[in-house]
Amino acid sequence: MITIKNQKMIMGTLSAAAVLANSLFAAPVALAAEQPSVDAKAAFVIEDETDKVLVNQNGEEALGIASMTKMLSIYLILEAIEEGKLTWNKQITVSDYVYEVSQNYNFSNVPLRQDITYSVEELYQSALIYSANGSTIALAEALAGSEAKFVDLMKAQLDEWGVENYELYNATGLSNSDVAEENLYPGAPADGYNKMTARGVAMVADHLIDDYPEVLETTSIPELAFQAGTSDEIMMHSYNVMLPGMFYYREGVDGLKTGTTLESGASFTGTAMQDEMRIITVVIGADESTKRFTETDRLMDYAFSTFEKTTIAAKGDAVSTQEPITVAKGKQTEVGLVYNEDLVTVTEKGAEELALTTVFTPAEESLNEDGEIEAPIEKGTEVGSVAVTVEGDELGYLDGTTSEDVKVAVASSVEKANIFVRGGRVVGDLFGKAWQTVSDFVGGFFD
């Protein structure tokens, strides 16, 4: 039995060829104090590096997300820039549809003109900082040709990520009732609006921050002039009032996106860094605009005061107490394992003991046709992963799993044995099996 008492110790005891679980028994320690009750339809909090869920309040119900939709739209735009499909300096001409939307002052907008062009960067900034709907549609059209085709890209991306239980009709988060019939997504209900679960919103935000961390350079801007130095100049003030100089300022907050419609209520996806730990918070459907920020502040207080990242094992550390895995056709018949990446988890502050369950799964590409790891094999060769679960954890991870996967490699090289050694082992195995058969037969007379 093994008790993990501090972050420098290493857990183990894994099986070799098959997927086999082994518990490390200790007095179970709850992963978290009781989570706060949030005054909104749903709330969700994760730690960004590990994707560990820290709070889940009604996180699986599809709810209106309004302009938080734009996080997904911006992801696709950043991806297109990375792939060379768009450039920051590309000039975009405003379509009739974009012009009409941008002139509607009932929506979040910067008014756009049709006699000039706008750069992708300008539209991108106004979409993120000022939640400009016209700018978002202009970007969607520039990439996909139409907003409807862009929505198809959005849906494909969510499906690829494994996001479930959603409805998407546009790139902005506007309710369908605010969109002219000819501009509605094909087959969209007139009273429909974009919906996603709080878990799904957290997944979008997590991918956005992880894949394009530069987005935080823009989402952290409290105010910025659009079309600076021209007669069209407009000062854009971020709707995220937790940024510096804003009414609900909180140190460490540098994003991410608000959303508000009558159908959806007031929502906010926030992110903050403190003590080298970044969290992502989601609040959906608060009944007051300011409440989404006060509730986010409570969630951040809870997360940062309750949890910390803990490195249990570093890359190269031996998987202690792990049974060596079997190696076919090798000079040695088995080899130990080491972690091939740091094992970082999130624990409750002050927790001195962790009860862990470990599962080893060999990588399919490391197995021969007989399902065996075969020599020769070099030291450091990755052969599979270890799934680590903290017992008593009911919240799990962002993707819905209950464990964290860590890659493992062989601790030393194993050369291939010559044909005589391998042949001797075969003969030995056959003799052993024959002897066992005889023993079982003779023993049967005395049963």
Q: Are strands 234-237 and 253-261 parallel, antiparallel or unpaired?
A: unpaired
Q: How many CA atoms lie within 13 A of 437 on its CB side?
A: 6
Is residue 131 part of the annotated active site? The answer reads yes
Three-class DSSP category at 374: strand
**Among 41, 52, 67, 175, which one carries the catalytic annotation?**
67
DSSP letters, 188-211, are: --TT---EE-HHHHHHHHHHHHHH
Is residue 257 part of the annotated active site? The answer reads no
Q: Cα 50 from chain centroid?
A: 8
Encoding tokens for residue 360? Answer: 């080893």
CA-to-CA dists, residue 9 to 318, 320, 358, angstroms? 10, 9, 15
Determine the Cα–Cα distance for residues 227 and 130; give it in Å rounded to an integer: 13
**Among 131, 238, 267, 385, which one carries the catalytic annotation?**
131
Other CB atoms within 10 Å distance of the CB of residue 412: 13
Q: Cα 282 from chain centroid?
A: 13
Three-class DSSP category at 403: coil
**Among 15, 41, 52, 70, which one carries the catalytic annotation?**
70
Tell the burial category of 212 from Cβ atoms under 10 Å away from its Cβ (0-12, 13-18, 19+). middle
CA-to-CA dists, residue 166 to 41, 224, 364, 401, angstroms? 16, 33, 33, 20
* Secondary element (H or E) of residue 426: helix 419-444
CA-to-CA dists, residue 394 to 31, 42, 400, 402, angstroms? 8, 18, 11, 8
Determine the Cα–Cα distance for residues 444 and 435; give it in Å rounded to an integer: 14
Q: Are strands 117-119 and 91-93 parallel, antiparallel or unpaired?
A: antiparallel
Is residue 5 part of the annotated active site? The answer reads no
Three-class DSSP category at 125: helix
Determine the Cα–Cα distance for residues 341 and 246; give it in Å rounded to an integer: 40
Q: How many CA atoms lie within 13 A of 360 on its CB side?
A: 26
What is the identity of the amino acid at 89?
Answer: N
Whether 373 contacts 366, CB under 8 Å: yes
Which residues are designated catalytic? 67, 70, 131
